Amino acid sequence: MNNITELLMNRSTDATLNSISKKVGEGIRITDEDCLYLFENGDLSFVGTLANFIREKKHGDITYFNRNFHIEPTNVCVFSCKFCSYSRLYAHKEEGWELSIDQMVDIVKSYDNKPITEVHIVGGVHPKMNMDYFKELLLKIRTHRPDLHIKGFTAVELDYMFRKAKLTVEEGLQQLKDAGLQSLPGGGAEIFHSEIRDLIAGDKVSGEGWLKIHETAHQLGMHSNATMLYGHIEKYEHRIDHMRKLRDLQDKTNGFNTFIPLKFRNANNDMSYVNESTITEDMRMYAIARIYLDNFPHLKAYWPMLGRQNAQLSLSFGVNDIDGTIDDSTKIYSMAGSEEQTPTMTTEQLVALITQSKRKPVERDTLYNIIKDYSETAVTA
């Protein structure tokens, strides 16, 4: 009998939980019914122990981070998602910002001679920022700094771009790839199930459309990430439906790098009446995601959203990546009331945060190639 099974069976009299722990110990995929049972009956200690077992089996004590920065072209948007605290409707665009191509290239230039490996480009859906606009931006970034990995545009932005340009998903992605786009972020996934999606984000790309864009990107040789917005009006069944669709697509393409659960924040949006999830619920979400998504190599906690201390805590609940150095230009979560109002950390601070959690900090690139192992670096502050 596997050690993890023995450990948990000695602590639980629940036959179903013991059966699930046996599956995990033997590397057998859990079912949707198992996942629901974990949400409804698995306490934090139980799911955390299982998730940490999987995390350490896959990665040992390694915790990844990267050196990146964000460019947010605009927060002006044609859509009106109820959970969003970031965007300003195009009709009220005087309340937002719009960056020119030259301004964005200047942001890239400000990182010249710095060991940054990735630029992350996401923002609102602005009707004047079309395919030609973004292809020009990508070409200028690629020309100026060809070593910089360009990760950009949520499926929501891409869907609008392609429809406006009258391009198929494959045609649009190929054109952006040719211009310099290398991978996709996971944003815009929210909750795939139409029962919830129609209520909180009914006017943008459907869950099926999101999945099609990412599947096509994978077929073109581009990797991507996946997210899920949790802790609002969804039920456990909707979370499981969402993760099952991701797991099925990963079985088909193996193109996802990491899964990122995103905590709903209720400040300054149309869902402020919804209470935020507790930190206990957050850690259970991470742990159960790690258990269910057996074919996802990585699980990421986005520290600007969770806060530094909670991101540290997540490293005991299946998480093996805490994103990057970023910088204080990213406003998507700070505007929603996240723990980090000026989300920037130096490499030294990230290394210290990971080391204090008794984990090994390793700098990666976007595709998880190791750049530097900091595990022997004595950083304590």
Domain positions in the chain: 3-58, 61-373
User: Span 61-373: which CATH code?
Assistant: 3.20.20.70
- pLDDT tens, position by position, for the chain (381 residues)? 456 766 666 666 799 999 999 999 999 999 999 999 999 999 999 999 999 999 999 999 999 999 999 999 988 887 666 666 555 554 455 567 789 999 999 999 999 999 999 999 998 887 888 999 999 999 999 999 999 999 999 999 999 999 999 999 999 999 999 999 999 999 999 999 999 999 888 789 999 999 999 999 999 999 999 999 999 999 999 999 999 999 999 999 999 999 999 998 877 677 788 889 999 999 999 999 999 999 999 999 988 888 889 999 999 999 999 987 665 444 444 444 445 445 678 888 889 999 999 999 999 999 999 999 998 764 443
Cβ atoms of 304 and 333 within 8 Å: the answer is yes
- How much is the pLDDT for 271? 79
Give the CA radius of gyration of the chain.
20
Distance CA 28, CA 21 (A): 10
Cβ atoms of 176 and 213 within 8 Å: the answer is no
In the 8-state DSSP scheme, what is residue 279?
A: H
- Which residues are bridge partners to 70 per DSSP? 120
- How much is the pLDDT for 9? 62
User: And the tokens for 329?
Assistant: 């230009």
Distance CA 231, CA 261 (A): 10
Cβ atoms of 363 and 370 within 8 Å: the answer is yes
Sign of the four-CA dihedral 282, 236, 85, 266: negative
- How much is the pLDDT for 340? 46
